[in-house]
Amino acid sequence: MIETKHLTKKFGDFVAVDDLNLSIEKGELFSLLGLNGAGKTTTIKMLSCLILPSSGNAKILNKDLIKDSQYIKQRINVSPQETAIARNLNVQENLEMIAGIYGIPKKLISGKVEEMITVFNLSEVRKKKARLLSGGMQRRLSIAMALITEPEILFLDEPTLGLDVIARRELWSNIKKLKEKTTIILTTHYLEEVEVLSDRVAIIQKGRIKAIGTVAEILDKTNTKKLEDAFVLLNEEEQLR
């Protein structure tokens, strides 16, 4: 489904993503875990055709990331790190707009909007302007806007950033429901989130993968009992270099 080969992104002399090689299977929920500035968002931006790699390439849905970007764009969607909504449109209008932009036939749009409103518990606020929603509701809407297009691959960039505990748990519940229907690539720096949601995880530091596998495999590899310990250990190793 996703296969990167030596994927690299440089901004001037700064290497944001360094020789990334990974393979993500259909239906997986794959997490990219790292500190701020580790290269998680840059990786997502490249894989979602927003920025071009400096070198290397990737196959998304068996298509070339650079040459076939229009094909890929039609079949993926992203919920960006900051909530990406049209603030003066209400919940329903936001969903209708994105469905239309992705070319969903008009007769199907209202059914899909209803489905998203039900799945994400947005029925009470469906006529409320997006700017008046709480942070948690806005984030749910942003993810619903990504899902209404039924993407084969969904990128969730720090989906729970800035949410309170209750809103975070609600969102986890929504994300769990999506697993297996959609391949999900999730970036986060919340360890608990990775443990609860991920099938596999890659720990990224300074643009490079330091460990990859299931949580159990990473614990085994680092000889630790908690993901937090494994994460700290890998970070300390990097700092000692």
Partner 1 sequence: MKSIYFAKRNFKEILRDPLSLILGVLLPVFFILLFSTISKNAPIEVFKPVSIVPGVIIFGFTFITMFLGLLIAKDKSTSFLTRLFISPLKPKDFIIGYSIPLLPLSLIIGVVCLIVGIFVGVPVSMKIVYTLLSFIPYILFSVFVGIFLGVVCNEAQIMAIGNIYIIASALLGGAWMDLNLLGEKIKNITEILPFSHAIEFSRIVLSGRQENIWIHFTIVSIYTIVFFLLSIYFFMRKMKSDNK
Per-residue x/- mask for partner 1, residues 96 to 125, rule CB under 8 A?
A: xxxxxxxx----------------------
- Looking at residue 4, the DSSP 8-state letter turns out to be E
Which segment (27-35, 91-99, 113-121, 201-209) binds partner 1 by CB under 8 A? 91-99
191 touches partner 1 (CB under 8 A): no
For residue 81, with 0-12 CB atoms within 10 Å meaning exposed, 13-18 middle and 19 or more buried, which class applies? middle
State which of residues 88, 110, 118, 214 lies at the interface with partner 1 (CB under 8 A): 88
1 touches partner 1 (CB under 8 A): no
74 touches partner 1 (CB under 8 A): yes
Of 87 and 176, the one with the shorter C-beta distance to partner 1 is 87
Which segment (84-92, 120-128, 201-209, 215-223) binds partner 1 by CB under 8 A? 84-92
Which segment (32-40, 45-53, 205-213, 222-230) binds partner 1 by CB under 8 A? 45-53
Helix (H, G, I), strand (E, B) or coil at 32: strand
What the block records as the tokens of 199 is 């099938």
Q: What is the DSSP string of 127-161?
A: TSBGGGS-HHHHHHHHHHHHHTT--SEEEEESTTT
What the block records as the tokens of 205 is 């530091």
Strands 55-60 and 2-11: antiparallel
Q: What is the DSSP string of 68-97?
A: THHHHHHHEEEE-SS----TTSBHHHHHHH
Site for partner 1 in 124-153 (CB under 8 A): 129, 145
State which of residues 82, 180, 217, 237 lies at the interface with partner 1 (CB under 8 A): 82
Enumerate binding residues for partner 1 (CB under 8 A).
48-52, 70, 73-74, 76-78, 80-89, 93, 96-103, 129, 145
